[in-house]
Structure 1
Amino acid sequence: MKKILVTGSRGQIGSELVRKLRETYGASNIIATDIRKMDDDHKEGPFEVVDVTDSDRLFTVAKEHNVDTIMHLAALLSATAEAMPKVAWDLNMGGLINALEVARELDLQFFTPSSIGAFGPSTPKDNTPQDTLQRPTTMYGVNKVAGELLCDYYYSRYGVDTRGVRYPGLISHVTPPGGGTTDYAVEIYYEAVKNKAYTSYIGEGTSMDMMYMPDALNAIIQLMEADPGKLEHRNAFNISAIAAAPEDFGKAIQKYIPEFKLSYEVDPIRQTIAESWPNSIDSSAAAKEWGFKVEYDLDKMTKEMLDRLTEKNK
């Protein structure tokens, strides 16, 4: 990778990925794009307004900047997609095939994330295998399964160098929650610092996979820099760092904020989505094929989240 176009650059992953990529490859080599206009976070490098459902605009920007890689992040997340399923299909699938077509026409390397949302109630819940039954019951999950297959198709049919991971819930002190089912695991830290209490919309005992954003960003770079000859899989690698329920986050926070109180007011829609996903997933294929590993466990992440948010709130 030498020159990279990032779609959805103002979203949960994109806003932090752009910074990481510019630190790694140079600010001028990362072209941030989003449907929303530039803000202060993107002034250190090139930025273009791009609606990924506009294939001509996406092609023109990629060609004008002579990029060799697209990292396609523009999407509606799980809870938002469930509220607007037709809009989610049009954006998530229409944007993806447009980006893949640009990669095919310009011979670009291509990354897009999938999600644990690609799994469903019939998927094995514990230590979910890399290759397993996928029958999601949400529009977001349907989009992700279709996207995984579409990326495989563009690799096998056209030779596009497509790569991707299945992200768990992502936790960050930089970007506010963006409409995902796992956002409680971000909100709980903000509320712990601000109010010493949090009311979870996900029920007690509901375990899901999570990952701290620095590990999530490093995984993209690790995969995209990996030797293609070692990739038995290409897209939708299982990756995870932490399998935890709301009470696990509560206990981790109480080590540093003893007075923290956790209560519950379950949201039926997001609870149903959460219960359809795995409790924990097997990341061994990613470790074997491209050296995936993480730095942060629950305790290390909790300490850093609380420290950073406390500093931010001063």
Structure 2
Amino acid sequence: MMKRILVTGASGQIGTELVSMLRNNYGKDNIVASDIKPSKDSKIVNSGPFEIIDVTDGRKIGEVVKKYKADTIIHLASLLSAVAEGNPTLAWTINMGGLFNVLEVARENKCVVFTPSSIAAFGPSTPQDHTPQDTIQRPTTMYGVTKVSGEILCDYYHKKYGVDTRGVRYPGLISHAALPGGGTTDYAVHIYYDAIKNKKFECNIQKGTYMDMMYMPDALDAIVKLMEADPSKLKHRNAFNITAMQFDPEGIYNEIKKHVPNFQMEYKVDPVKQAIAESWPNSLDASCAKEEWGFNPKYDLSSMTKDMLDKLNKKLK
């Protein structure tokens, strides 16, 4: 049971919404948001404690954990896939160095740790359809390499030191609250904004490229559900396949056109992002998450599209 929680990378796409939800659930003073620089989101800064943390500085993480007597660290700080491919050295330093520091602090202070993995942990030799929970993981991107390494490192800390580590392999995440930060699946967020603002969209992923996706409310619920789960029921821990829907750019485009009939889309494929997307699975098997801790997403493409357009219409007016 989480009581006092430190969230790293709190200004990112997941963190922005997660901090608000956790403060509603656990009390605003019990959720410490942190990031490498002050958040531009006044809601995060003004609704509870906020600390500046560079996750490559393990001493600072430890100071904040002790200061607030945190029992849980939700570690979200990382460089995402496309950005990481542009600077692999920095990606390794932040993604792996930061996680190592968090795990060391957790070991010393007996904290529970959640850190997200990703579909990027898989690669071209992974079974592409209904990808099993336990399968070949040979990614071809630095981001993917850090995610596989992170899963193994978290397993090591659990087995070697008894640190309660948990995680999920996130698909592409779609949110109306915060823009994504340089991932391969970002097109599936920007398409909604452009449908409302411009009535046209230039897609950087090729038609027929299927990827797993999830709406942010389901992604946030998954964190809380997994972290509140009975640890004796968890066989996998780091990290569970989860998914809610699979589509290619034409699928999301056609769904949006039901609500915005004059919406147009053309393709201008980004070769780097396309290569990354093609190395990932088409669909994941999430049966272990369902069996071990009751994962059950609420949104599909149709219900997500309706909600996204409703929320963005209000936001962008």
Q: What TM-score do you get using the length of structure 1 for normalisation?
A: 0.99
Please name the residue that 2:294 is paired with: 291
Please, what is the CA RMSD of the aligned residues? 0.6
Whichever residue aligns with residue 22 of structure 1, its letter is R
Aligned with residue 120 of structure 2, among 90, 95, 117: 117
Q: Deviations over 1:141-181 (max 9, x none)?
A: 00000000000000000000000000000000000121000
8 Å contact kept, 2:58–2:101: yes
Please name the residue that 2:108 is paired with: 105
Superposition misfits of 4+ residues, deviation over 2 angstroms: none
**In 2, distance between residues paired with 1:38 and 1:102?**
24
Please name the residue that 1:68 is paired with: 71
Please name the residue that 1:202 is paired with: 205
Give the drift of 1:235: 1.1
Q: Deviations over 1:79-136 (max 9, x none)?
A: 0000000000000000000000000000001100000000000000000000000000
Whichever residue aligns with residue 92 of structure 1, its letter is N
Which residues in structure 2 correspond to 1:237-276 (within 5 Å)?
Answer: 237-276=240-279
Partner-residue secondary structure (3-state), 2:82: helix
Q: Is 1:20 matched up with 2:21?
A: yes
Give the drift of 1:41: 2.2
Give the drift of 1:36: 1.1
**In 1, distance between residues paired with 2:126 and 2:39?**
40
**In 2, distance between residues paired with 1:198 and 1:304?**
19
Please name the residue that 1:96 is paired with: 99
Please name the residue that 1:193 is paired with: 196
5+ long unaligned stretches in structure 1: none
5+ long unaligned stretches in structure 2: none
Give the drift of 1:214: 0.4
Partner-residue secondary structure (3-state), 1:6: strand
Q: Is 1:177 matched up with 2:180?
A: yes
Give the drift of 1:62: 0.5
Whichever residue aligns with residue 73 of structure 1, its letter is L
Please name the residue that 1:218 is paired with: 221
Please name the residue that 1:41 is paired with: 43
Q: Is 1:156 matched up with 2:156?
A: no
Aligned with residue 80 of structure 2, among 57, 77, 80: 77
Give the drift of 1:38: 3.7
Whichever residue aligns with residue 169 of structure 2, its letter is R
Give the drift of 1:13: 0.7
**In 1, distance between residues paired with 2:15 and 2:107?**
22
**In 2, distance between residues paired with 1:229 and 1:91?**
31
**In 2, distance between residues paired with 1:30 and 1:95?**
20
Please name the residue that 1:6 is paired with: 7
**In 1, distance between residues paired with 2:50 and 2:216?**
22
8 Å contact kept, 2:12–2:180: no
Partner-residue secondary structure (3-state), 1:150: helix
**In 1, distance between residues paired with 2:117 and 2:57?**
22
Partner-residue secondary structure (3-state), 1:13: helix
Q: Is 1:147 matched up with 2:138?
A: no
Q: What TM-score do you get using the length of structure 2 for normalisation?
A: 0.98
Give the drift of 1:313: 1.3
Whichever residue aligns with residue 94 of structure 1, its letter is G
8 Å contact kept, 2:10–2:35: yes
